[in-house]
Chain A
């Protein structure tokens, strides 16, 4: 798999059937355009690290895929289906809630602020969606949830509430909560930015484990360069709402071609 991707990003030929496709996507908040006619194809099972300065639009990019923000123009396809639009007699019309929910079921997301449900125990945080969205029985949902919580190393915290756990533990539960829905594509929005430094590692380890399993498509917006380098098949550098440069991690980190990429990485290395 990573072979194909490397090849693609090297010569720009797209010889895979993308699972995610952004086409001429723009997004404005009021007068500020945060994404400008951006194109991006993501291969199935590809792991993409999205880097860039704050305010570059990288978070908006994945939030549009989660349907949290609506593109101002352009189209996004997920697994061969248009996300924000429906094709009716050859014309594009805005998608209705039913269509959104259908496509949304293929995507999951981990947030910077965890966004666990504070009024639910850990177990219920993870079982609520399988029961009410997938329609699983409580037993089945709990069985799956416990497997996932085991995977993130938190099987013993089932009956605790979010506020009783550390940030790192909360974020791991959030990961289990997203995994249990079995999405094809998982989005990570600066998932370690809100964590104390000593808690970052435990969360990254869990993500790395998921990445190594291989078959999930992952888009990671991150400031953890070392981490991105380790797990990503491709690094996308975004600045000012457009992709400035993309390619295999070694290429971007060792030998960035674009001046803005070089500046960004230099400034970043200095800070750390």
Chain B
């Protein structure tokens, strides 16, 4: 039933697709790490015109499916003159979706910093920006790195959704192979195996990180 020769012959193609998957994952993660922090800071602002829309945005994005957001970005944005390639739209959608999750993670990290740190910064007359850069972020981020790692794995597992907006990543590659050869068994199973191996190994990495952080 299982054809090993066929499996090996399609492997290079699948790895090519995997490359796109990984590129999309890391680009979107980088985007989410930066935007998530900005959202977290903005949602704490005492300026209500800034914090309220940001909070509403976070709630909305978290309460709607990533797939619907991807379609929105890929098909609606061009109506406003913003035509995006599948990769850019995918990175934007995936990154934006997860930035709202990461903003919550940042928030928990920021909330765990004692009030005295903010007060000391004020007593030394730090500007707001300097307080964030020198005092708050360096203390808030290290404890949340494992959680961010788990979200990175989560994003990796969500990248197959980008196939729906025609990005030829690993799952789409498998589907194309399947459609051409009429054999879905090997390509899709192999995609599953690839995901299983990569996410299992990375989850071990995250656990190792957690242990190291706890030791400190």
* A208 close to chain B: CB less than 8 A: no
CA distance A131 to B122 in the complex (A): 15
How long is the Cα–Cα vector from A44 to B120 in the complex, in angstroms?
Answer: 24
**Which residue of the partner chain, among A107, A115, A133, A181, contacts B127 with CB atoms under 8 Å?**
A133
Q: Number of residue pairs across A and B with beta carbons under 8 Å?
A: 59
Cross-chain contact B124 with A101 (CB below 8 angstroms): no
Residues in B whose Cβ lies below 8 Å from that of A117 = 117, 120, 134-135, 139
Bound complex: CA A67 to CA B116 (Å): 13
Provide the main secondary structure of the chain B interface: helix
Q: Is the CB of A115 within 8 A of B119?
A: yes
Q: What are the residues of chain A within 8 A of B139 when measuring CB–CB? A: 117-119
Closest to B128 in A: A97
B143 CB → nearest A CB, Å: 11
In the complex, chain A residues 32-83 whose Cβ is within 8 Å of any chain B Cβ = 66-68
Q: Which chain A residues lie closer than 8 Å to B200 at the CB level?
A: none
- Contact in complex: A132, B119 (CB < 8 Å): no
Inter-subunit contact B120/A104 (CB<8 Å): no
Neighbouring A residues of B130 by C-beta, 8 Å: 132-133
Instruction: Judge whether B135 and A111 touch: CB under 8 Å.
Output: no
Are B120 and A111 touching (Cβ within 8 A)?
Answer: yes
- Let me know if B122 and A68 touch, CB within 8 A: yes
A108 CB contacts on chain B under 8 angstroms? 123-124
Most chain A beta-carbon contacts within 10 A, residue among B114, B122, B138: B122
B126 within 8 Å of A by Cβ? yes
Which residues of the partner chain A approach B125 to less than 8 Å between Cβ atoms? 101, 104-105, 129, 133, 181
Size category, A interface: 20 to 34
Q: Taking the nearest CB of chain A, how far is it from the CB of B25, in angstroms?
A: 29
Residue A224 at the chain B interface, CB threshold 8 Å: no
Which B residues lie within 8 Å of A119 (CB)?
Answer: 138-139
Give, as a whole number of angstroms, the nearest-CB distance from A107 to chain B: 8
The digit string for A155-195, where 1 denotes a CB below 8 A from any CB of B, is 00000000000000000000001100100000000000000
Q: Mark A234-260, 1 if CB is under 8 A from B, else 0.
A: 000000000000000000000000000
Q: B119: which A residues are within 8 A, CB to CB?
A: 66, 68, 109, 111, 115
Contacts of A116 in B (CB 8 A): 120
Q: Are B123 and A109 touching (Cβ within 8 A)?
A: yes
Report the 10 A-B pairs with minimum CB-CB distance, sorted nearest first: A115-B120, A115-B116, A129-B124, A109-B123, A104-B125, A132-B130, A119-B138, A133-B125, A113-B116, A105-B125
Which A residues contact B (CB, under 8 angstroms)?
Answer: 66-68, 97, 101, 104-105, 107-109, 111, 113-119, 128-129, 132-133, 177-178, 181
